[in-house]
Amino acid sequence: MSKLTSLDILLVQEIKDLYSAENQLVKALPKMAKAAANPKLKEGFTKHLEETKGHVARLEEIAQLLGASPKGKVCKAMKGLVEEGAETIQEEGDPVIKDLALITAAQKVEHYEISGYGSARALAEALGQDEVVALLQATLDEEGTTDKTLTAVAQELIPEATTAAAD
């Protein structure tokens, strides 16, 4: 690990962290999709898997632009979030409630990614790395859209879960 002595080094460290996080998600999202009962949620996880593969490719491109390797760091935060998601997948119970639990786990991931990409974008802006800023912003936009989609599915499921609980 490099000493944090410049914004350039910090940005590369953040790109490595995001790269690890996204690669962990590439492995986790198919399991989330398989566990989801709601067709919209399944489709959302599957769509986001394809986007996530694109995020990995963008991070590889960013690393190249920065003259660095994206590899060499394990994102411990994502590891923990993925473990929590795996616990949710193992849970038994009402399918609608379980889908809401999967959405909760997925939104924790999205919010972590949004904060990571936002911070990396701010560093790239400070360094005048316009191409890197644009690539990070594209991913940030997709992460935000995914978060909004998860919220919309949750809002559809909550009344159904409330009705099921009342029965």
Residue range 9-38, pLDDT digits in tens: 999 999 999 999 999 999 999 999 999 999
For every residue of 18-31, DSSP letters joined together read HHHHHHHHHHHHHH
Structure tokens at 133: 């800023």
What is the reported pTM?
A: 0.93
Helix %, strand %, coil % for the chain, to 5? 85, 0, 15
* pLDDT for residue 162: 86
What is the rounded (10 degree) CA torsion for 78, 83, 84, 86?
130
Name the residue ranges covered by the structural domains of the chain. 7-166
* Residues of the chain with confidence (pLDDT) below 50: none
- DSSP E strands: which ranges in 69-148? none
* pLDDT for residue 41: 96
Whole-number Å distance between alpha carbons of 43 and 55: 18
What is the second-level CATH architecture of the domain 7-166? Up-down Bundle (1.20)
* pLDDT for residue 2: 65
* pLDDT for residue 23: 98
* pLDDT for residue 1: 57
Whole-number Å distance between alpha carbons of 144 and 133: 16
